[in-house]
Structure formats: C-alpha cells, structure tokens
Structure 1
Amino acid sequence: MTYSLSLLDKSPILEGETAVAALQRTTSLVQAAERLGYRRFWLAEHHDFPGLASPAPEVLAAYLLARTQRIRIGTGGVLLPHYSPYKVAETFNLLASLAPGRVDLGIGKAPGGLPLATKALRVLHDPARSPSFEALLDELDGFLATPPEAPGPQEKARAFPVPPATPERFLLGASPDSARQAGERGWHFVFAGHHNGDPKAIEVSLEAYARAGGSAAPLLAVAAFAAPTAEEALSLTENHRVIRLTLDDGQNLNLGSEEQAAEYARQAGAAAYRTEIRKPHILAGTPEQVRRELDALHARFGIAEFVIDTPVALTARRLASVTLLAGEAPALAA
C-alpha cells in the first residue's frame, strides 16, 4: 500500500453514560491507534450537541498529546469563523512547542452547532465587519509564519511561542472553492467524503486543488466500518441515515434526526424548511473488502491518506473495527 490511515473522533456520549466515560474512550482509542500504526488522530468540533463531548478540540488535543508518544494529533477541524486567527495561531504554536513535530491544525468553516450556539460563540463579532473566510485564513497563515525575531519596526502582533516546526496545516471541505483556497495557500486539502461521497464531487474538487497550485497529495475523509464478516458489517450499517435540512433561504446541512432538523430551523427563524432522509455512503464489510475499496479510491484519485470516521451509532464497536482495518501489518498505516 502507498497510502496512510488516520482517524477522526467526535467523543460520542453513549446512552446512559457521562462525558467523562466518552472522553476516556477517546483516550483509549488514540492510544490503540498509536499501537496499531495509524498516522494521525483528529478531533472534531461540535457545539450544543448533548451527545458529543467535543466543543474544544484544541484542549483535548493537548491532553492526548501528553498521553501518547508518536502519533500526530490535531483538529478536524477548528471552525475558524468563530475565532480570532491570532488566538488560534498562539494556541497551535504552543501545542507544537509542547509536542514538536506531532501537531496538526485542521481548519473548517461550518458552524458546527445550532444557530443559538453560533450566536453565543460570536457574541462579540460585529456582523457589519465580519471578514470573509478567506481573509481569516490569510490572517491565520500570516501569524503562523511569523519569524521569531522580525527585524525593523513591528507591524503586527506575533504569535509566540515559536515552535521548532509549525503545525502542519489542513483545510477541510467538500467543494472546489475550498480546494482552491487550500491550493492557493500551500495547505493540504482534505475532502470531506464522510459527508459527501459522490465521486464526481471528489474529482472536481481535487482538480481545483491541483489547478490552484496544490502540490501535496490529497487526503480523503471516509466513513468506514469493518467487522469479521460482511453480513455483520452490513447489518450494523444498513439502517444508518442522516437528515438533509434545507431552509427557506437556501442553506442546507446534515443533521442526525428530524428533531434536530426542526430545532435548527426554529432557532434559525426559518419560515419554512424541508428535510430529506439520506443513506450516507459507508465503506462497510470485512477488513479486506474495506481495504479493497480504499485501494480503488487511492488508484482513482491519488489519495495519499484516508481519515476514517465511524457513524456515532457504532461507537461501541469502533475499536474492533479500527483494529481489524489495521490488519496484521500495522506498517501499512504508518
């Protein structure tokens, strides 16, 4: 194999358990991933979802870096429109100084929560002066590139401490526009195939990345689940559904239930909305079958690394799946 395997985690809270238990499971999972040879372990950011203990991935990243030795740890991703690029740069420079060569900064632009959570996160933002996502990216890029001792007059704040190596930078998205933004800035691009597995969408986005000057081999996030038999894997995944919500202003997003969709529309003040039940594409089967599908995606799109997500409903079985996918030769994922 000529690609790596990595993991994305949301710290799901199972029915009847606490966030403490969910975060302990995340810690056990990253330690297992390190033993098995996975390359990266990324943490998602979600707000005001009672079933997910993942509102501050940068805080959890620091904790996990202290409890592992080799695996790269990062965010998938920090939702930049909520935050000051300067503060994000300071935070990740500090993480990269604590664990040199092991920190990834993944950036996204989705709200990551219901409208009231977004409003609370942006309570000090002036909507009339809200910068574009690209402007925020450029500002963040500039702070991360600040030299330790800039000569001459200081024209802007510097994001100390300066680590031995800056955090590796990734832009997460599922559109040609996101791919272009990553390529123009020399960032890695991660196509969010766990949200949109349409091969045509992957193709046009990766083409846009290459046209914009992106030289790094692309990453692809996928939903995948392996079990000892194909029958077991399919029986556990065949009923998984997501709700596609479309508001009257054209905004659309995926949610976990009709109830979440209705609450999102209420908080957004939508006069009308519609929902569509969709069956997401999950690579499910025996480990050999899943790896054959990964092989095919690698051959078709030149994917250098797969970031594997698992449906929340399968959280209790995730460690077994991750172990099966690593196989008997962990080096395949290293």
Structure 2
Amino acid sequence: MKLSVLDQSPILSDSDPQEAMRQTTELAAHVDRLGYHRLWVSEHHSTNSLAGSAPEILATHLAAHTKRIRVGTGGVLLPHYSAYKVAESFRVLETLHPGRIDLGVGRAPGGMPNVNLALNRGKLPRVEDYPKQVEQLMSYLHGEDPAGMNIYATPKGDTSPELWMLGSSGTSARLAADLGTSYSFAHFINGHGGMGAMDRYNNHFTSSIQQTEPAGNVSVFAVCADTQERAEYLASSLDLALLLIEQGGVRHHFPTPEEAFNYSYSFFQQERIRENRKRMVVGDKETVKQELESLADAYGVDEIMVNTIVHPFEERLHSYELLADAFNLTQEG
C-alpha cells in the first residue's frame, strides 16, 4: 500500500505563519527521505490557524526542496480561477519537475462565505460551471485547445501533471468518473459515505486523455505515537480543534494537549468528539497500520493520505517516522 501526506500548514500554539511554512518545508523533506509517495498542500483563505492560502506557490517551493516524492495541491479551488491560468501555472511546475506534479482540484469556497466575493471581484462563483472547468483544465494540461480559440497552455512538454478531483460526497465522485480523472475522498472531512462515493467512482469510470483506469485514494487524520496512551494525549488537541471549528469559534492557533486537558467539555461536546473520531486514526504504529489497511480495504484503494496535526511539531515528524517504519517504506539511503 502507498502512503502519502496531506499537510495544511497548521499554525500551532506559540507559533506564527512563517514558522508554519518552515515546518511544512521541513516536513516535506522529511517524508521525502522516509519514502512517502506524494505530498499535497491545501488552500484555505482568511484563516488564522492555517497558513496555506496559495498551494500552487507552496507546492513549487516544496518540489524544489525534495527529490523523489510527488508534490501537488489538495487542492486548487477551481471555481475561483480561470482553468487556462491554472493549467499554465501547473505546466510551469511540470516543466520544472517533470513526472512529480499532481494537480488536485475542488469546488469548496476555502473559507467563510465572503471569501467567494473577495476572490471573485464581488460576485459569487458559478459552481454550475465547475464540470466544464475541469474538462477544459484537463484538455489544456494535455496540450489541447478546448475552447477553439487557437490558444494553448504553455510551456508545452512531453509530460503532464496528474489531475485529481477532490471530494467529500458522491457528487464529486461521479463527476471524476465521467471526466476520467483520479479521485480522492476526504475522509478527514466527512467520515460517512466515502465508501459508497468511491464505489460510484469505480463503477462509472470512463477513460480519458489522462488515464484508462480509475485511480483513487482516501485522506484521513492520523496520530501515531510510541504508545497508545501517548497517541491519545497528542490527539486530544486535534479533538478540541475540530470541536472549536464546528462551533464557529475564532481560532488563532491549534491548541496544545495541555489546553485540551484543561478544557471543560459538556456532555454534548464529548459526544461530538466521539463522532469526530470516525475521521481519525489514533494509536501506536501497529494499531494505526492495521486501521489504515482496513480503511484502504473498505474503500478499495491502494493509497492512504495521512493528515497529522499534533503539538509540538517534533511529534508530527515522529508520527510520520513511525508510520514509515510500520509500512516498511523505502527510505533514502
């Protein structure tokens, strides 16, 4: 099974955006050496707890600081942008790092509702145009002229970025199948319905200029530590962070385990934490390995993307080390 990484550049307690970006850069080099398959970075706007607002720029930086791992976006929120411009940006990336670039796209706003207006010059994006945008994007990436305007995405080349559609529902799965892209389900966002969505994708897949067979993966929160007890302690900070997100609280950083320990939880909040654990895998390396393999089997995929947000940063690095060891990844010699 392939093991990959989704990183959202979280801003930890007593940290700042510059440090979050430095940590993402260090993490990229770390998981590259450990033998992970791919690394994606996300797009979030007007948030104080996640530093990644321009994943195409961050991916360029990370590709330059790594050697083997595939690097890409999870993902570019396409309704905000021109398919042609996105294609050219990623054709530049592919030219710089041929055979290593992924372009994951989604249609979420990436922030509060007003983000839509700010990114679209005071207008709401036409999400109904999204399927056509993805179709045009794939054509541009592969050197075609989908609009019949005698224009092409440059620089041209012999290889193209791999296009992935991201989703947390069956709608995106069917669209990915119809257009013939790869498909990634965000289990870390929605712990329900993902297996049905992946089945829909596989059962309706149509070959395309990019690929002739379906290819899917699933992303999940994971916290791995030397012991189950230590993993639970570290994961408590993510429990609290997800709870605060659901309650619409303004967050300036991801809390520490100590903050989570001292937080006074109501009965309802404790129930929400138990429900949110369906989006997470927590434990020592053997426990996490077994649960990730079971998740991959349930989804019918051969790749899991792990999203680890723990405090301090060194524990994040260690979590990925333990998983690399558990899965016998081929580390750089």
* Paired position in structure 1 for 2:138: 141
Aligned match of 1:28: 26
Instruction: Give 1:11 deviation, angstroms.
Output: 1.1
Alpha-carbon offset, residue 222 of structure 1: 0.8
Question: TM-score with structure 2 length normalisation?
Answer: 0.83
* Pairs within 5 Å for 1:118-157: 118-123=116-121, 125=123, 131-147=128-144, 155-157=149-151
Structure 1 stretch displaced more, 98-107 or 229-238 = 229-238
Q: Which residue of 2 aligns with 1:220?
A: 218
Shifted more, 308-317 versus 290-299: the winner is 308-317
SS for the counterpart of 1:189 is strand
How many corresponding residue pairs? 301
Instruction: Report if the CA contact (8 A) 1:97-1:164 is conserved.
Output: no
Instruction: Please tell me whether residue 171 in structure 1 is matched to residue 165 in structure 2.
Output: yes
Are 1:96 and 1:103, in contact at CA under 8 Å, matched by a contact in 2?
yes
In structure 2, how many angstroms separate the alpha carbons of the residues matched to 1:312 and 1:6?
17
- Pair 286,332 (structure 1): closer, same or farther in 2 beyond 3 Å: farther
Residue 312 to residue 237, structure 1, CA distance change in 2 (3 Å): closer
Paired with 2:97 and 2:142, the residues of 1 have a C-alpha distance of 18
| Equivalent residue number for residue 181 of structure 2 | 187
Cα offset, 1:234, TM superposition: 1.6
- Partner residue, 2:288: 290
| 1:180-259 alignment, distance < 5 Å | 180-198=174-192, 201-213=193-205, 215-238=213-236, 240-241=239-240, 255=245, 257-259=247-249
Aligned equivalents of 2:36, 2:123: Cα separation in 1: 39
Shift of 1:101: 0.3
Q: Distance in 2 between matches of 1:243 and 1:71?
A: 29
**Deviation string for 1:231-274 (max 9, x for gaps)?**
11123224604668xxxxxxxxx93553249xxxxxxxxxxxxx
State the alpha-carbon separation in 2 of the partners of residues 299 and 168 from structure 1.
24
Check the 8 A contact 2:33/2:331 in 1, yes or no: no
Give 1:67-146 correspondences, 5 Å limit.
67-123=65-121, 125=123, 131-146=128-143
State the identity %.
Answer: 38
Check whether the contact 2:117–2:123 (CA below 8 A) recurs between aligned residues. no
**How much has 1:300 moved relative to structure 2?**
2.8
TM superposition score normalised by structure 1: 0.83
Query: Taking structure 1 as reference, are residues 30 and 57 closer, same or farther at Cα in structure 2, changes over 3 Å only?
Result: same
Give the whole-Å Cα distance in 2 for the aligned partners of 1:138 and 1:299.
30
Tell me, what secondary structure is at the counterpart of 2:103? Answer: strand
Task: Deviation per CA, 1:66-88: give whole Å up to 9, x if none.
Answer: 11111110000001111111110
Cα distance in 2 for partners of 1:142, 1:211 equals 23
Give the whole-Å Cα distance in 2 for the aligned partners of 1:161 and 1:55.
25
